[in-house]
Amino acid sequence: MIKIDEITKVFRKNDIEFISGVPDSIFKDLCLEFEKSFKRKHIVAANEGSSIGLAIGYHLVSNKIPIVYLQNSGLGNIINPIASLASSKVYKIPMILIIGWRGEIKRNKQLSDEPQHKDQGMITTSMLKTINIKYKILNKKTNFKYIFSSLKREAIKSSKPVALLVRKNVFNNSIHDKKKFLKKNKKFFSREEALIALMRKIPKKIPKISTTGMLSRELNEFNLINNVEKNTFMCVGGMGHAISIAAGIASKKKGKVLCLDGDGAITMHLGALSTSAKMNNIIHVVFNNDSHDSVGGQKTASSGVEYYKIAKQLGYKYSKRVNDKKGLDLAIMNILKNKKSSFLEIICNKGNRFDLSRPKKNMLIYKKIFQKFLKYEAK
């Protein structure tokens, strides 16, 4: 395995002083190291495309090579700024992309992974080839110093982005204490406690769309225990798009539609709120724990932002922030009475149970159950 501190040493020897990206579980420990060793030179971005923009700006002012890290699911977000700006046919911006390869291929076979990573894993290398990005693959036995130096030379020579595809379990455990990223505030409840309190107040006839990550897993367990899984569509992928899916449903349904979102997810495509706010039957709930919880607990790009104020400015008619059960109960009572678009920001602690299960059924089964619910039972 490759030692985390070895990577930062190689970066420094190669005069790397700018790193940006969106946290991924493959880079969990690496991100903790970046947070400690590079501090202000490490920028967690709102989305992967934004990271590319930051990298372009850094190169323009420094003429140095920036680093951008992302999960391969974020490749779609980087295609436009790569192809229309960083390309050797446009502005010739060299940078090194470090990409976590979920759904990876090894010896012409796909390794086991969650369903949302299968297609993306299969097409990752072909996507890179299509946008003319040369890449190398990092595994446990790779000489990181050698492969990184080789990529840097290629980036400089070609004046365009190059990529390092990283397989799972390549890095060793971090030397840092992860507990500091999981500090709890006794004033607030956990996300799961807040979710359960919310679900007990929401009528079963209201369809629920939940964002990717731990929130959907917690909701899935609640649904199984209470036999209400038919009214839920879980966005196991497509981070940041849950509210747009909910808005699409709300545009057709007369009754209320509930979107359960996270602070990291909502930040990715914040402009979508200007559309969802126009739907009078939307209830948009954001669980804000100030972190990318499912991939290591790193702070989001919008740490400290008051989302309920942004939502109000983007057009939500009712917008409130709460941090306890009393406030939550009152807000939900008002939201269910409200006949206009509603936004609720719930402040909660980061962290989750380590024994959380994952959805067991084939995703198509969940889809069929949900569509049947929308047709015959939803308000």
Res 343 pLDDT > 50: yes
Asked if 119 and 56 sit in the same domain, the reply is: yes
Shared domain for 193 and 160, answered yes or no, is no
Higher pLDDT: 302 or 43? It is 43
Return the pLDDT at 131: 94
pLDDT, position 107: 75
With respect to residue 179, please indicate whether it lies within any of the assigned structural domains.
no
Residue 22: give its domain's CATH number. Answer: 3.40.50.970
245 and 329 assigned to the same domain: yes
pLDDT at 6 over 50: yes
Domain boundary among 131, 166, 201: 166
Please check whether residues 162 and 193 belong to one and the same domain: no
Are residues 8 and 131 part of one domain? yes
Average pLDDT over residues 160-179: 77
Last residue in a domain, options 107, 135, 166? 166
Cα–Cα distances in angstroms (integers) from residue 153 to residues 67, 84, 160, 261, in the given order:
14, 23, 11, 42
| Measured distance CA(191)–CA(212) in Å, rounded | 14
Q: Average pLDDT for residues 42-56, to the nearest whole number?
A: 95
> Residues 146, 280: one domain?
no
Same domain? For 29 and 106 the reply is: yes
User: Containing domain of residue 138, as a range?
Assistant: 4-166
Considering the domain architecture, whether residues 139 and 272 belong to the same structural domain is answered as no
| Confidence label for 377 from pLDDT (cuts 50, 70 and 90) | confident
Q: Which residue in this structure is represented by tokens 């991924």?
A: 24
Residue 174 lies in a domain: no
Query: Does 177 score more than 70 pLDDT?
Result: no
- Here the contacts of 102-107 (C-beta below 8 Å, separation 24 or greater) are 102/24, 102/26, 102/71, 102/72, 102/73, 102/168, 103/72, 104/165, 104/167, 104/168, 106/167
pLDDT in tens, 210-245: 998 889 999 999 999 998 889 999 998 889 999 999
> What is the percent of the chain with per-residue pLDDT over 70, rounded to a whole number?
94
The pLDDT > 90 percentage for the chain reads: 68
Confidence class of residue 174 from pLDDT cuts 50, 70 and 90?
low
- Picking from 316, 215, 204, 198, the residue whose alpha carbon sits closest to that of residue 255 is 204
Per-residue pLDDT, averaged over 320-336, amounts to 95
The domain total for the chain is 2
Task: Note whether residue 10 is domain-resident.
Answer: yes
Question: What pLDDT score was predicted for residue 17?
Answer: 92
Do 15 and 123 belong to one domain?
yes
Give the model's pLDDT for residue 70: 96
pLDDT tens per residue across span 106-154: 878 887 778 788 888 899 999 999 999 999 999 988 999 999 999 999 9
Cα–Cα distance between 20 and 313 in angstroms, integer? 29
What is the spatial distance between Cα 147 and Cα 336, in angstroms, rounded to a whole number?
A: 57
Tell me: pLDDT of 303 over 90. Answer: no
Is residue 181, in this structure, part of any structural domain at all? no
Q: Which of 112, 131, 166 marks a domain boundary?
A: 166
pTM for this entry = 0.87
Within a domain: residue 178?
Answer: no
With respect to residue 171, please indicate whether it lies within any of the assigned structural domains. no
171 neighbors 30 (Cβ within 8 angstroms): yes
Q: Indicate whether 301 and 159 sit together in one domain.
A: no
